[in-house]
Amino acid sequence: MQRRAVSELLRVSPVADDLARRFQEAGFSLALVGGSVRDALLGRLGNDLDFTTDARPEDVLKIVRPWADSVWEIGIAFGTVGCQKDARVGDTDQRFQVEVTTYRSEAYDRTSRKPEVSYGDSIEEDLVRRDFTVNAMAVALPEKEFIDPHGGLDDLAAHVLRTPGTPEESFSDDPLRMLRAARFAAQLDFDVAPEVVAAMKDMAARIEIVSAERVRDELNKLIISAHPRKGLALLVDTGLADHVLPELPALRLESDEHHRHKDVYDHSLIVLEQAIDLEEAEPDLVLRLAALLHDIGKPRTRRFESDGRVSFHHHEVVGAKMTKKRMTALKYPNELVKDVSRLVELHLRFHGYGTGEWTDSAVRRYVRDAGPLLGRLHKLTRSDCTTRNKRKAMALSRAYDGLEERIAQLKEQEELDSIRPDLDGKQIMEILGIGPGREIGEAYTFLLELRLENGPMGHDEAVAALKEWWAARG
């Protein structure tokens, strides 16, 4: 670990040491800290560097402004100054994102949604207020002195998350750290120490004082991590999910010997993992959220039928509404809310067409309804098969292969990505001899339905169909 750390630190030395000398000349200390030290020890230090200093924010600004290529003060109320520095490292030009934070301590009161910040005078005081021991290590610069007062190196080697002080004190200071425990467990594939899990269970309700935006940001980091199931399970098991994403634990529907059905909670986590396996490059937050939430409408729509079966009629429609409501409450951007809820609504559409041959009309409508989400809908639908019956799984896979082949064939013959009627609004008005109004919209809808049902029509055929429709209206 230490050899990896030395290698990583040598790589960023042109930037880190240069900045440290400037602080030293101004009479201040500077240390690489937190996640940067942890990642250096793990051999995965990137170009986002976190530093801590005894300099106050106004002094930090004086030091970094002549040095950095750009500076921002968005976090200065919390003691953080951000900047960007372009530097030559070896044979390449690289861009570094740097944050310098004044030694600090922060705590919540019982009603506040924002931490109260006070500055400290020593790095030891700063490290003890950090969330976990693996993030409470520092490297003093430029001399490269390793500082680890809370055994973070040992915990890093053991792959365990502990708090520098008692977890109760840590989570009382900032309840968001309970979510961060789940996030780091998912990102690093670490285990959470038993005393930390116990505190999370006891203090779960305290997460309510944290703003929706901060909760959302932590959930996003958890969901796009390498092992999201591990973090999500921890949220559910500790009761935190009851406060931040209650639709997830609600999927653990009780079943009995008379009304057997899939464990919807476990099924949803498997669908998430299978969707991740289909990602092509970077983590896809839209796809992962849709996979996680696709069945959240089932608890509200569950019905016990007279023949002993359990049904969930229209759970995709109910689930889409629930998804929109929860994501809106967590202050997700409107476009993201729209995309995820639309995927939840469409995730059963494939099964509505059965396993028979898809008609051209059905293919067109499927593509039109999915729009730009078609690629994600393919992945979500394939991921939603968790049956242990290999014959059934193969049949579903072949059926979806057939659908994708039909889409590809039709795309070679006609424009599917933006299906429009063969006549536009201006042409409709000219042919019918009327001005703008409700009738034009109705005529457009009629022609669109013809286009979806029959494919492209020639101009003369479309004109004839329009005139026939108009005449039938009297």
**Residue 164 near residue 133 (C-beta atoms within 8 A):** yes
Q: What is the mean pLDDT of residues 430-443?
A: 87
- In the predicted model, is pLDDT for residue 354 greater than 70? no
From the number of C-beta atoms within 10 Å of its C-beta (0-12, 13-18, 19+), residue 109 rates as exposed
pLDDT digits 0-9 by tens, 366-385: 888 888 999 999 999 999 98
DSSP E strands, 261-315: 303-304, 310-311
pLDDT digits 0-9 by tens, 387-410: 777 787 787 888 888 888 888 877
Crossing angle of the two packed helices 264-277 and 285-293, in degrees rounded to 10: 160
Give the confidence band of 413 by pLDDT, cuts at 50, 70, 90.
low
Q: What is the mean pLDDT of residues 284-311?
A: 90
Q: What is the mean pLDDT of residues 192-198?
A: 98
Q: Share the mean pLDDT of the chain.
A: 88
Q: What is the pLDDT of residue 114?
A: 65
Token pair in block for residue 455: 């494919």
Query: Between residues 13 and 134, which one has the greater pLDDT?
Result: 134
Q: What is the pLDDT of residue 305?
A: 79
Planar angle of CA 268, 271, 273, nearest 5 degrees: 115
- In the predicted model, is pLDDT for residue 416 greater than 80? no
Secondary structure class of 257 (helix, strand, coil): coil
Q: What is the mean pLDDT of residues 304-315?
A: 82
Q: Whole-angstrom Cα distance, residue 240 to residue 177? A: 11
DSSP code, position 308: S
Q: What is the pLDDT of residue 356?
A: 58
Q: Whole-angstrom Cα distance, residue 225 to residue 231? A: 9
pLDDT digits 0-9 by tens, 23-50: 999 999 999 999 999 998 988 888 999 9
- In terms of phi and psi (left: phi > 0; alpha: psi -120 to 50; beta: otherwise), the region of 225 is beta
Q: Which of 249-253, 390-394, 446-450 has the highest mean pLDDT?
A: 249-253
Query: Between residues 415 and 65, which one has the greater pLDDT?
Result: 65
Give the confidence band of 54 by pLDDT, cuts at 50, 70, 90.
very high
Q: What is the mean pLDDT of residues 168-179?
A: 93
| Nearest residue to 13 (alpha-carbon basis) of 55, 45, 38, 44 | 45
| Cα–Cα distances in angstroms (integers) from residue 165 to residues 132, 170, 172, 470, in the given order | 9, 7, 11, 78
Q: Whole-angstrom Cα distance, residue 206 to residue 243? A: 9
- In the predicted model, is pLDDT for residue 344 greater than 60? yes
Q: Whole-angstrom Cα distance, residue 193 to residue 200? A: 11
Token pair in block for residue 457: 């029509």
From the number of C-beta atoms within 10 Å of its C-beta (0-12, 13-18, 19+), residue 469 rates as middle
Q: Which of 235-249, 425-439, 454-468 has the highest mean pLDDT?
A: 235-249
Domains of the chain plus CATH, in order, are 1-158 (3.30.460.10), 159-245 (1.10.110.30), 252-413 (no CATH), 425-472 (no CATH)
Q: What is the pLDDT of residue 387?
A: 76
Token pair in block for residue 273: 């993992």
Q: What is the pLDDT of residue 327?
A: 97
Q: What is the mean pLDDT of residues 170-195?
A: 95
